[in-house]
Amino acid sequence: MAVKQRQDDYFAITLPGLEEICAAELEQIGIASPRPVPGGVEFSGPLRTLYLANLWSRTATRVVVRVGDVAARDFPALYRKVVRLPWGRYLRPDDELDVRVSCQRSRLGHSGRVAETVSEAVGHALGTTATGTGRARVLVRMEDDRCYLSVDSSGELLHRRGYRHSPVAAPLRETLAAAILMTLGWRGESPLVDAMAGSGTFVIEAALIACRRPPGRNRRFAFMDWPGYRSGVWNLLLQDADRQQRAVPCVLQGSDIDDKAIVAAIDNAKRAGVADFVNFTAQPMQQLQPPADSGLILCNPPYGERIGTKSGLSELYRELGELYTGSFAQWQSAMLCPCSEIDRVADLNWHNRLVFSNGGVKVALLERTRVETT
Ligand SMILES: C[S@@+](CC[C@H](N)C(=O)[O-])C[C@H]1O[C@@H](n2cnc3c(N)ncnc32)[C@H](O)[C@@H]1O
């Protein structure tokens, strides 16, 4: 008789604005019925599902397992109920806990005391008194007198792929770059050009998508330290991932006016293991020529304050428009633009594909509406 596997509930945390794209990605990875909600994506399944999401998601920031939720209007009740949850599945007695709390519309509104109470209750449940800032992260949300408790399964944040050591100004988060490529429908089959590549994030994420390498292939995850970690399941997922890898079938090119940024981008591509698939050159975007008849050209121009003057920004957008409607007219073209500056590019016939927050600035992904030539 087949043994029924335990199903757990999980939550993939995303940057605000990326919930839908992350849900579509999880579905494509093979996860059943992911549900986008504000702040992330809910999904359920056996442990394999959790491993799959951590290994393959290019857009989630971290993945947590829901341990349970309890009604609590006073601290003794909170303690009593939290002790009874199945902490031993995810934590060990010697784990030092890092309990993060947020409170909304609840009688228990003192996050420090909630953290202390949860920490003591979990310690009691595990038969330990270990507390303090440790590796095992417990996330607690008090909302309307209900306490929702989760354990982090990722450890290091998922956008920290580990390839970006060389700093440049205003790099894009790796998860955001991947989400933008997916939103634009880029699947790793057609040429791609980043006209202002900076540290190379778009091009490197594109290479990882095109060669079908999971972003979590070579890293450790917090779930590997759980008592119930199933290394056999994980190794099968890695073998399956390795079978899918291939050489990149299309040109992936990045350029930037700043030589130092290009040195950093090449360095980053080497660390990401995709240097053979990408091409970076120091060049102003005004001089770019298309490397193929069609493809995707995109860029993340500097924001107003970095470029010095607002008139400088208008000039840059005008030249970008000339590039996109001139030699790249047959290409799909997109750019990032702070929402506050969208009026400056109104005449370029853009449509807005996505709005997200990047380093506290509200930014839109604009795609040029192409006029079909017959
Ligand atoms: C916001 S940064 C891009 C960051 C990049 N997406 C990353 O993840 O590292 C903007 C870049 O535009 C470049 N830039 C500014 N004017 C340019 C021009 N005319 N041609 C090419 N690159 C330019 C800057 O040197 C800078 O690296």
Helix, strand, or coil (residue 114): helix
pLDDT score, position 348: 72
pLDDT score, position 349: 82
pLDDT score, position 246: 96
**DSSP secondary structure of 232-281:** HHHHHHHHHHHHH-----S-EEEEES-HHHHHHHHHHHHHHT-GGG-EEE
Q: Using the predicted structure, report yes or no on whether residue 252 has a pLDDT greater than 60.
A: yes
Q: Given pLDDT bands bounded at 50, 70 and 90, which one contains residue 189?
A: very high
CB 174 within 8 A of CB 161: yes
Nearest-angstrom CA–CA distance, 65 and 90 = 9
Nearest-angstrom CA–CA distance, 335 and 341 = 12
Quick check: CB of 201 below 6 Å from ligand 1?
A: yes
pLDDT score, position 92: 92
Averaged pLDDT, 292-300: 97
Residue among 161, 193, 196 whose CB has most ligand 1 atoms within 8 A, to mutate: 196
Q: Does domain 174-211+246-368 have CATH number 3.40.50.150?
A: yes
pLDDT score, position 372: 60
pLDDT score, position 329: 94
Q: Given pLDDT bands bounded at 50, 70 and 90, which one contains residue 308?
A: low
168 Cα: distance to centroid of ligand 1 (angstroms): 9
Averaged pLDDT, 286-315: 84
Render pLDDT for 123-173 as a digit per residue (tens, 0 to 9). 999 998 555 556 799 999 999 999 999 999 999 999 999 898 866 778 899
pLDDT score, position 33: 97
Nearest-angstrom CA–CA distance, 259 and 282 = 5
Render pLDDT for 46-97 as a digit per residue (tens, 0 to 9). 999 999 999 999 999 999 999 999 999 999 999 999 999 999 999 998 888 9
Quick check: CB of 335 below 6 Å from ligand 1?
A: no
Quick check: CB of 21 below 6 Å from ligand 1?
A: no
pLDDT score, position 3: 63
Average pLDDT, the chain: 92
User: Where in the chain is CATH 3.30.2130.30?
Assistant: 8-152
312 Cα: distance to centroid of ligand 1 (angstroms): 14
Quick check: CB of 172 below 6 Å from ligand 1?
A: yes
Q: What percent of the chain has pLDDT over 70?
A: 93
344 Cα: distance to centroid of ligand 1 (angstroms): 18
169 Cα: distance to centroid of ligand 1 (angstroms): 9
Quick check: CB of 198 below 6 Å from ligand 1?
A: yes
Please state the three-class secondary structure of 189-200 as a single string. Answer: CCCEEECCCCCC
Nearest-angstrom CA–CA distance, 164 and 175 = 13
Q: Does domain 8-152 have CATH number 3.40.50.10130?
A: no
- Report residue 139: phi and psi, to 5°: -105, 130
339 Cα: distance to centroid of ligand 1 (angstroms): 18
296 Cα: distance to centroid of ligand 1 (angstroms): 17
Atom 25 in ligand 1: residue holding the nearest Cα = 258
Quick check: CB of 312 below 6 Å from ligand 1?
A: no
User: Where in the chain is CATH 3.40.50.150?
Assistant: 174-211+246-368
Nearest-angstrom CA–CA distance, 152 and 135 = 10
Quick check: CB of 361 below 6 Å from ligand 1?
A: no
Atom 26 in ligand 1: residue holding the nearest Cα = 198
200 Cα: distance to centroid of ligand 1 (angstroms): 10
Quick check: CB of 284 below 6 Å from ligand 1?
A: yes
341 Cα: distance to centroid of ligand 1 (angstroms): 17
Quick check: CB of 257 below 6 Å from ligand 1?
A: yes
Nearest-angstrom CA–CA distance, 141 and 136 = 17
Q: What percent of the chain has pLDDT over 90?
A: 81
